[in-house]
Amino acid sequence: MHQTGILQDKDPEHLHQYRVALRRTRVILSQFKGVIPEEVRIRFRDGWAQWGRLSNRLRDLDVYLSRKDYYRSILPDKLQPSLYPFFTMLRQERQKEFTKVTKALQSAEYQSYIEEWQRFLTASTPINEIHSDETIDNFVKRLLRKRSKRIMGLSKSIHKRPSSGQLHRLRLQCKKFRYLIEFFKEFYPKKQITSVIKRLKRLQEKLGEFNDISNQLREIQHQKAILKRRKRLTDSTKKALALLTIHFIKRQEKLLVAILHTQQHFVNSKHFEIFKS
């Protein structure tokens, strides 16, 4: 299990996959309104959201530290050692966050929640009759048609200079849409749905990188302020962080062009029409 891998702390991929599983679960629970008892649905949807938020900072720090060599490669050789204080701060905070997460995962509260979730999955939970006159096929297609319209609406609102908020919302909607498609892909022609997933993944990757860069830019400023407050911000470290900032801003500009092209190509694709019926 990924939980065991997280506790062993040998590979940050375990935390990543754990968080992906939590997001997939929450998306499915969010869409099953009226299908399972509402009290049960909300309790688990909100519960998994709470446990997921607990590891947000740890995951961010894992990502930053995994890109240490990349950050250094951006800089001239003589400035690369100047990032040492920056990464030292990240490692120290990472240790504190790891301790917090592992303590939570080993807590009686978390174990109780897991046991309750397992009982829910294995029990004969009553299904509401709100959709009793609707076939499963129609329910699934209505669900994905609604999601596809939401993405179409967001895409049409995005122009040449979209705000970071617009791109963030599109990224989240694309993520939820892909989870649902992958969960219900058997209800669609294999060739068409595989093409949609491939195109959606391509758009998600660009939106994800854009969001990652936004987070990294904020992190650079955050750590810079801490270093300055602790009187550990040398001129060389300050210059190194400035060069990283310039690099990431330029990369975001290029990504924006690619995102606009990719998202328009995606929503205008003939394969997207399978959700309109």
Q: What is the pLDDT of residue 128?
A: 57
- Angle at which helices 84-105 and 190-229 pack, to 10 degrees? 120
Q: Which of 89-103, 142-156, 204-218 has the lowest mean pLDDT?
A: 142-156
Tally of CB atoms within 10 A around 5: 16
Q: Is the pLDDT of residue 19 over 90?
A: yes
Q: Which of 33-37, 55-59, 97-101, 239-243 has the lowest mean pLDDT?
A: 33-37
User: Which residue's structure tokens are 């997921």?
Assistant: 52
Q: Is the pLDDT of residue 54 over 90?
A: yes
Q: Is the pLDDT of residue 272 over 90?
A: no
Q: Which residues contact 246 (CB under 8 A, 6 or more apart)?
A: none
**pTM for this model (two decimals):** 0.88
Measure the CA–CA gap between 155 and 163, rounded to whole angstroms. 12
Share of the chain above pLDDT 90, in %: 68
Q: Kindly report the backbone phi and psi dihedral angles of residue 33, in degrees, each rounded to the nearest multiple of 5, phi listed first.
A: -65, 130
172, two tokens: 């989240």
Q: Is the pLDDT of residue 41 over 60?
A: yes
What the chain holds in terms of domains, given with CATH numbers, is 1-133 (1.40.20.10), 135-277 (1.40.20.10)
Q: Is the pLDDT of residue 131 over 80?
A: no
